[in-house]
Structure 1
Amino acid sequence: MTFLATRGHLGTRAMWTQTQRPSPTITHLDLTATLSPQLPRVLVSGVCAAGSFILVAFSHSVGTSLCGVVLASISSGLGEVTFLSLTSFYPRAVISWWSSGTGGAGLLGALSYLGLTQAGLSPQHTLLSMLGIPALLLASYFFLLTFPEPQDPGGEEEAERAARQPLISSEAPESKPDTSSNLSLQEKWTVFKGLLWHIIPLVLVYFAEYFINQGLFELLFFRNSSLSHAQQYRWYQMLYQAGVFASRSSLRCCHIRFTWALALLQCLNLAFLLADVWLSFLPSIYLVFLIILFEGLLGGAAYVNTFYNIAQETTDKHREFAMAAACISDTLGISLSGILALPLHDFLCHLS
């Protein structure tokens, strides 16, 4: 019996031949697949991340700063779709660790910027101090990631497979994860339609979440606070990221299957904070701190549970494509919120 496992970060393929016992041994290592799609994506992601820090740090105009933001978005989006699709070649528990890592990255970024600027470092030098992060990304990709172990066809894998509700029903036995390029357009479309139940609530969560972050954070200003306007904004960002990190790390403690409830709660969050910006009825900034922490908890929980549910409900053959396709959820939600939040923010500023 033959298994095909793919090394994610170099796209290297290794063939294991299994005889009568399930102890695989490597019999062939094909290095011709080194330049698979993952390698250039990760390189571009790292270069764009470094370019974004440099552009914004030395920017003297809004246009240049926006170009830096675009590069950061390219780096984030390309990295997410690449590494999430690679999780299909590892045990499903890796989804929890991936989500926890992304939440930790957001919290570490917010805390480091808040701490360094509070300590007196200029925003320019703070951004330049972050140039080591893209280098760490590339180093971890090339030197830290390991070959995914071939899974024993018995035991836990069989139990998971029996309990799974696949997005595409099929009587054929499941194969080990293969590249999504082997799927036909019809198969991809069928898988994508099955993903909509997971994609739509995550789009709504991210729409409401980033509508708050991009359109309302700056307007939630308390003049009677000891914190300046800029400091209040930084604390909002830090608390939001803390909530995201906590909930993205909670999968082993709390698994939420029906993510529509999270979407509803996040939309209620948006409505409540929008009403406060309009009417200014909240008496204390600490109440806003709690709401923003709750906002982060909802967003992180929606993210980790959505991708875990997809990993559970897709067959091995379709999982890589499904994980990559579902990445449009947060991108679409963030983009739509930005389109609507910008004019609303300007409108509310004119009113005040």
Structure 2
Amino acid sequence: MSRTDPAYPIEDVHEDDMSESHQLTDESLKSSASRRRTLLLRLGASFFLFGLINNVLYVIILSAALDLVPPNTPKGIIAFCNIFPALVSKIGWPYILKGRIRYARRLIGCCIISILGMIVVAASEGLPGRLLGISLASFSSGLGELTFLQLSTTYSPRPVSGHALGYFASGTGAAGLVGAALWWFLRALGVELGVGLSSIFPLIIPLAYFFLLPSTSQFLDIEISSLTEDSGANEYSAVPVLDPNEASEAPLLVAPGVSLTLAEKLALVKPLLLQYMLPLFCVYTFEYTINQGISPTLVYPVPSDFVFRHIIKSIRDYYPLWQLVYQTTVFLSRSSLSLGLPPISRRSLPLPAVVQLIILTILATESASGLFGNSETFSIALVFLLIGLEGICGGLAYVNVFYQIGQESSPSAGEKGRQEREFKIGSIGFADSLGILLASILAVPTEIFLCQTQVNRGKTLCKSL
């Protein structure tokens, strides 16, 4: 037979081979995209759980403040013990730690301390024992938040790291709603049993870490070997270029004995002070001054309009309503990245703090002088909107500050570059806690002053709470 004989359909064979090749390529792309989606889902779920469980005990303790201390004890002492130990851990730990972070060991330690703290709270009948337990849980929560923020930087390329951080922030926002709801049901069981049962929640963290969280190497492998999930079968996508500073976690690449000196850490922190720490500190100072010092005085007669009369049935309902609005909008804004919204640019990071200061000024003026007029419905609606905007600003500041610092390149490569990224994101974590602590100090005289100002102009509702 000749080569032109019909028994040798060369072109047909070539076309069949090409067709099979395309089919294999399509199947490979679909398999890779499916694997990538699964890994991202596991990563997001893990970090959401980390944020939720790490912060939920903090919210439960604040929600249980009235049940944890005697009636004649200032409730601010609970807020202080619930934030100061966390602040100590965030300030000190990044500077004390040397070398590589042992994440498994640290998370197990945090879990044990949290459980111990809640058990001490539940088992103690006196105030000193309960404050000790709260302090232990607070220290663990602060160290845990620091740890998860640092853990997010170990994932690369950077979009994967940003994905992890976005879901962690969303989890911390959800903790406000979940914690308040949990204590609403647990409080009926009493402090001993209610707080005791909540001590099992920290066990979720090591379970998620060991059995749900994907390893960093899995993302490096799939990002290099596959096209983006939304590219067509006949379209080519650029293979992500890995920053040489984004070193793999492969054990062979780890240089033993590498660690940052105190001088190197201080040099890394200096440029972060104004760009990241100050905006976060200001947002939280203004935010918690509103929540703890101004919101308790934003009370009005029970409304008679069709909408608000079904929500507010007593003047004691105003403060819980403001907190619910705040926690809901914080959750939504902290979830902005996980919902696919673009991040705020570095230049715009101070904007939430500016808006927060304006909100604080307006609400303080309304509380002191009745800025919004005599219409209860109008006043309640405006306060509702401003408290919601306050929560949005606070949540956006949190998630975007940590996102932007996590996306920065490190001056060094390899293991040292990894430690620099971990330290930088960990070093700014104390800014929000310091702002909350300052706000808790400012809130007491602010509330007293505003309430007395209302009494002086004939409005005595704040005295009857």
For the aligned pair, the TM-score class normalised by the smaller chain equals 0.7 to 0.9
- Tell me the amino acid that sits aligned with residue 266 of structure 1: Q
Among candidates 358, 364, 376, match of residue 274 of structure 1: 364
**Is 1:344 the counterpart of 2:454 in the alignment?**
no
* Counterparts in 2 of 1:156 and 1:228: CA distance versus 1, 3 Å: farther
Could you say if the C-alpha distance between residues 59 and 340 of structure 1 is closer, same or farther in structure 2, counting changes exceeding 3 Å?
Answer: farther
Pair 1:308 & 2:394 matched? no
Q: 1:104 to 1:38 in 2, by over 3 A?
A: same
Contact 1:244/1:300 (<8 A) preserved: yes
Question: 1:151 aligns to what SS in structure 2?
Answer: helix
Asked if the contact 2:281/2:432 (under 8 Å) is kept, the reply is yes
User: What secondary structure does 2:302 align onto?
Assistant: coil
Report the alpha carbon displacement of residue 326 of structure 1 after superposing the two structures with TM. 1.5
Q: Letter of the 1:132 partner, please give it.
A: I
2:200 paired with 1:132: yes
Structure 2 residue 219 is matched with structure 1 residue 219: no
Task: String of CA shifts for 1:75-132, please: whole Å, max 9, x gaps.
Answer: 3211100111111111322111111111122222233345x38xx9366365455333
Give the TM-score normalised by the residue count of structure 2. Answer: 0.58
Q: Which residue of 2 aligns with 1:158?
A: 241
Call closer, same or farther: CA 1:58–1:329 in 2, change over 3 Å: same
**Cα deviation code 1:198-232 (max 9, x no counterpart):** 11111111111111122222222233243435433
Q: Which has a greater percent of helix?
A: 2
**Is 2:436 aligned against 1:334?**
yes
Alpha-carbon distance between aligned partners in 1 of 2:116 and 2:313, rounded to the nearest angstrom: 32
Q: In structure 1, how many angstroms separate the alpha carbons of the residues matched to 2:334 and 2:220? A: 26
The alignment status of 1:186 with 2:263, answered yes or no, reads yes
Give the direction of change, closer, same or farther, for the CA distance of 1:314–1:332 in structure 2 (3 Å limit). farther
Mapped partners of 1:259, 1:136: distance in 2: 33
Cα pair 1:204 1:263 within 8 Å, conserved: yes
**Aligned mate of 1:323, from 391, 416, 425:** 425
Aligned residues: 305
Distance 2:333 2:178 in 1: 15
Is 1:254 aligned with 2:311? no
**Whole-Å Cα distance in 2 between the matches of residues 272 and 291 of structure 1?**
9
- For the residues of structure 2 that align with 1:227 and 1:192, how far apart are their CA atoms? 50
**Mapped contact 1:89–1:148 kept (Cα < 8 A):** yes
Distance 1:122 1:277, change over 3 A: farther
Counterpart of 1:121, as a letter, is A
Give the number of the structure whose residues are more often strand, by fraction: 1
Structure-1 residue corresponding to 2:276? 198
Partner of 2:216: 148
- Which residue identity does 1:148 align to in structure 2? T
1:265 aligns with 2:355: yes
- Counterpart of 1:5? none
Amino acid at match of 2:135: V
Change (3 A) 1:181 1:267: farther
Report what 2:320 is aligned to.
234
The answer as to 2:182 corresponding to 1:112 is yes
After superposition, the Cα gap between the structure-2 partners of 1:157 and 1:187, relative to the gap in structure 1 and judged at 3 Å, is: farther
Shift of 1:334: 1.1
Q: Counterparts of 1:229 and 1:218 in 2: how far apart (Å)?
A: 10
Q: TM-score, normalised by structure 1?
A: 0.74
On the 8 A contact 1:177/1:320 being kept in 2, the answer is no
Quote the residue 1:81 is aligned against. 146
Aligned partners of 1:200, 1:301: CA distance in 2, in Å? 15
Q: Deviations over 1:244-288 (max 9, x none)?
A: 111111123132111111110011111112122212344343332
Moved more, 307-316 or 199-208: 307-316
Q: Which amino acid aligns with 1:296?
A: G
> Over the residues paired in the alignment, what is the CA RMSD in angstroms?
3.3
Residues in 1 aligned to 2:405 and 2:301: alpha-carbon distance in whole angstroms = 45
What letter matches 1:276 in structure 2? E
Deviations 1:17-51 (A, max 9, x none): xxxxxxxxxxxxxxxxxx96434543443344445
- Could you tell which deviates more after superposition, 71-80 or 36-45? 36-45
Q: Is the CA contact 2:294–2:450 (under 8 Å) kept in the aligned structure 1? A: no
2:166 is aligned with 1:101: no
2:394 to 299, 322, 329: 299
For the 8 Å contact 1:314–1:322, the answer to whether it is kept is: no
Work out the CA distance in 1 between the residues paired with 2:388 and 2:324. Answer: 9
Query: 5+ unaligned residues in a row in structure 1: which ranges?
Result: 1-7, 10-34, 162-172
Given the superposition, is the C-alpha separation of residues 147 and 232 from structure 1 closer, same or farther in structure 2, using an over 3 Å criterion?
same
How far apart in 2 are the matches of 1:338 and 1:105? 20
CA spacing shift, 1:38–1:245, aligned 2, 3 Å: same
* Further displaced range: 88-97 or 77-86: 88-97
Q: 1:254 to 1:45 in 2, by over 3 A?
A: same
Amino acid at match of 1:215: G
Does the residue aligned with 2:142 lie in a helix, a strand or coil?
helix
Output aligned runs, 1:39-78, within 5 Å: 39-51=104-116, 53-54=118-119, 66-78=131-143
Which residue of the partner structure matches residue 287 of structure 2?
Answer: 209
Cα 1:41–1:273 shift into 2, 3 Å: farther
What's the % identity of the aligned pairs? 35
Task: Return the alpha-carbon distance in structure 1 between the equivalents of residues 383 and 130 of structure 2.
Answer: 29
